[in-house]
Every structure is written in C-alpha cells, then in structure tokens.
C-alpha cells in the first residue's frame, strides 16, 4: 500500500483505509486498559469491614442524605447547563440576525 501524502509513517504502518481512526482506537484501548488497572488497584481501598469504610461508620441516615445530595447535584447541574445553553443560543441568534441585517 502506498502511503497517502502528508500522513507519514502512520499511513505506511497501518493497512486500513482510515489510519487515523485505527490510531485513535489504539489510544482509546490503552486508556481503557489503564483505567481498568487503576480501578483494580484502588478497589481494595474502598472495601468496608463491618460497615466502616472511607467515610467511617455509615448508617441509613447518612446514606439517605448522601443520595439526596446526589439527586440535588444533578438537578442543579441540569438547570445550570440549560441556562448556559439558552444564553449561548440567544447570542448565536443575535449574531445571525446582525449578520443578515448588515449584509442587506
């Protein structure tokens, strides 16, 4: 296979049609393997004996309030991101309107 101009060694080494996609797949698999190994190493730290883990002894009240906090976090996150998105859309529409007004 003749390497495509401008792709250098990557195209000469890979035999696929899209050498950049293959390279990204390799990178993604390496990152996935590294994260998996990290989780396997850190898993014993999170294990709890007799209800005592990283947060100390936890009971039902602690777990309930933690879960309410998670629910509140995601509700607030969605609301804030929606407000940011609306502002960005309004700015885009203003720019589009200004461009059409100044063209004509």
**What is the full per-residue pLDDT of the chain (104 aa) written as tens digits?**
455 555 555 544 555 566 566 677 888 899 999 999 999 988 877 776 776 777 778 889 999 999 999 999 999 999 999 999 999 999 999 999 999 998 86
Distance CA 54, CA 34 (A): 24
* pLDDT value at residue 15: 55
* pLDDT value at residue 53: 72
* pLDDT value at residue 18: 62
Cα three-residue angle 60-64-70, rounded to 5 degrees: 145
* pLDDT value at residue 32: 96
Phi, psi values for residue 8, rounded to 5°:
65, -140
Residue 27 burial (10 A CB sphere; 0-12, 13-18, 19+): exposed
């Amino acid at each position: 296979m003749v390497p495509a101009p401008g792709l250098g060694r990557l195209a000469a080494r890979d035999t696929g049609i899209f050498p950049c996609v293959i390279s990204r797949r390799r990178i993604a698999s390496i990152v996935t393997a590294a994260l998996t190994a990290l989780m396997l190493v850190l898993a014993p730290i999170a294990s709890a004996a007799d209800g005592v883990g990283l947060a100390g002894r936890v009971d039902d009240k602690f777990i309930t309030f933690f879960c309410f906090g998670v629910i509140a976090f995601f509700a607030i996150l969605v609301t804030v991101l929606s407000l940011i998105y609306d502002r960005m859309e309004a700015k885009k529409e203003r720019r589009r309107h200004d461009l059409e007004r100044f063209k004509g």
